[in-house]
Structure 1
């Protein structure tokens, strides 16, 4: 599949990169297909790119690598929608808001994106727990580049 992207221009996608969001993403409910794209020089961040609209691209990262005590329970509607049977079926990413300097960037811990690996479906789940912020400052996290990996 060939798409236009916000950050990488025109690219060819493999089926492994495609994810279906049955209910879209809050704010982008009509967007149902996204690609998860690596950022060449940074293994910590990725781009969640709409396959239909090149302007819709979210920078995402694993919240567990950025926040030491992050945890939440997946709600029943998400478990049902994604057909989650066991914890090994999923991985979680959070949406970042990048700023300069990078240490002032934030991650949304109130709305993690839950991905079912084998079914290739995902959902952004809203958590109603004030323990974690919508704009949690990521601070001075180590960057992980290809040279360091």
Structure 2
């Protein structure tokens, strides 16, 4: 993704969020606490972590505030409906921050402990973080016995069959 306009970024962001919410909606009371071991995030932890990091780390940094991230355990959102509400909140806050900003806003620099980066790169990191953890949710749901959808409608077998 090259330097997009704010409108293009928000459209892509919305599509990423939609794909993540689709897989998060497969979380049930029976699998929300599933994890490979007690030292790793559960399915629910991962699903909560994505919007909570966005709401309390990424978005405050954009606003020039300090991080307020304090974890992602079940006390933040105990069930799938409340987890999905966190995604909606993150989407609304992102749109609210960016909607009226000029294109130059994307070129602003964000101070990081090891240097600074452009706001545009920061926005890309938000999406990369989400996509990374979405993959983990897919894997854990599958390991817990849930039949997960193909992200773009094609399985590996489908790709083999249409390849020459």
Q: Same fold (TM over 0.5)?
A: no
TM-score (norm 2): 0.26
Higher helix share: 2
Higher strand share: 1
**Greater C-alpha radius of gyration:** 2
TM-score (norm 1): 0.27
